[in-house]
Amino acid sequence: MKCPNCGEEMADGTLYCEHCGEDIHIVPDFEPELEQNIQQIINGIMDELEEPLSEEDEDESLEDLPDMTEQTAPKKWFKWLIPISLAALVLGAAVGMCVWVYLYNSEEYQVAKAVQCVASEDYDRAIAYYNRALELDEDNIELHFSLAEVYFLKNNKIEYEYLLREITRNENATTEQLDRAYGRLIAIYRARKDYLTINELILGSHNEELISMYQNYIANPPEFSVIEGDYTSIQPLKLTAMGTGSIYYTLDGSDPDENSTLYTMPIILENGNYVVKAVFINENGIVSEIVRKEYFIDYDVIPAPEVSIASGDYNLPQYIEVLNVDSEEEVYYTTDGTDPTYSSNVYTGPIPMPLGASHYKFARIVDGVVGEVAERRYELRLNTEYTPEQAVEAVQEYALSTGRIIDSVGHFDETGAIYVYEYLYVLNINNVSDYFVITEVLRSEDGSQVRTGNFYAVDIYSCTRFRLQQETGRNYELTPLDNINE
């Protein structure tokens, strides 16, 4: 059998053309002209029945009625039998046609028949009934879901997916219906591991709640913290993206991918022109759109701090100072040769030069931008026979002799805590002499420690011991330990 709409071959008994979607009606579409012809026939019969008889016909009729034995009697009755039978037949057809028209235009009936067909696994007829129901109520989203489920049962995933996408585009769908449709579509693509389609589907919805719910399946383009344009200062550019994944970027105008530079910290845009391109790749390998921004930076360089002591070798204690420091700016420094950052030491005052070799770097940091670095290398060697270790021992011996501690470990009672004496630096005090500066530390049983506030100075040339107290600035008070009763 061929489809009357598109001409494609159809299986016998089918009610729905799978090629073009046309319904194949069980009863032909009812035509108004047919109804008019039937009505004319019925009206003609009724007029004939109601037409009054002439006197001659009436007499003939009366004469014929009693004489039922005559051979002509059946012919007389047959004259009335044929019109009555025809009228009954036409009336029955008309009633049947009316019933069919009513059922064909009843959404409730079409849905009920579709449900029956699904129960009996007659999916083709179920599809035909649901399609007719949708012709009667095309805005009924639940009918779209029901029809989609039939295609799913029939294992026609293409039509199933198509109908669900139609629901997502339907302006009459409720939030619950949209969530249901998107959820079923995502389940399809997730089973296929088709994360790219999930990404396109969710982003195309423009639904913030949906995007938030399925953010692990999408790859939004990276966001730039700095608007592209011209700047007169260094710009720390931060890149962010929603979801779990990685951001990759380039600065040479090429398109970034997973082989490009991985973004881990702000990109410092200094003097010059920049073309920054970035892409986000989420944990499922979905690649976002590439974002491209242009910048032109023209700024005055942050100058390096001015350090009082030049690099070199020294044989006397020295103070390292940063000169001309504005009260509103901060200078950071390191002692291991690395460049300063916000986590480095903050310069707060003169720094005693350490014994031996040392490597300092100083820099200003403004709005996250590290300025030029002042680098210094020192070698301090003193002309003395004594060492810092000997100075610590001298102070510890004094503490033992006075009962400050009761053993060489530093215990002072039964608690287990101890006093520890540590070398800090070498210092010229009051232009009198040079001293090793020692501090006293209280160390608890749990390993925590704190300075007690007691400081000692040991002359580097004679190993004489003093109690050290700072008065103001670089002025100190030195008290010989032999004169202190502890």
Q: One-letter amino acid identity for 139?
A: D
- Please state the pTM of the whole predicted model: 0.43
Note down pLDDT in tens along the chain; length 486 residues.
Answer: 566 656 667 666 555 566 655 555 444 444 444 445 545 545 554 555 455 545 555 455 445 544 544 455 555 555 566 666 666 676 666 666 666 666 677 888 888 888 989 899 899 988 988 888 888 888 888 888 999 999 999 888 888 889 998 888 888 888 888 888 888 888 888 888 887 888 888 888 877 777 777 777 778 899 999 999 999 888 899 999 987 899 999 999 999 999 999 999 999 898 899 999 999 998 888 889 999 999 999 887 788 999 999 999 999 999 999 998 877 788 999 999 999 999 999 999 999 999 999 999 999 988 777 889 999 999 999 999 999 999 999 999 999 999 999 999 999 998 899 999 999 999 999 888 999 999 999 999 999 999 999 999 999 999 999 999 987 777 889 999 875 544
Closest CA to 461 of 319, 318, 316, 358: 316
**Side chain identity at 62, as an amino acid letter?**
L
Question: Rounded CA gap, 89 and 87, in Å?
Answer: 5
Q: Give the dihedral sign, CA 467/472/473/474.
A: negative
| Other Cβ atoms closer than 10 A to 68 | 10
The burial of 154, by beta-carbon neighbours within 10 Å (0-12 exposed, 13-18 middle, 19 or more buried), is given as middle
Amino acid letter, 253 = G
For 306, list phi and psi in degrees, rounded to 5: -95, 120
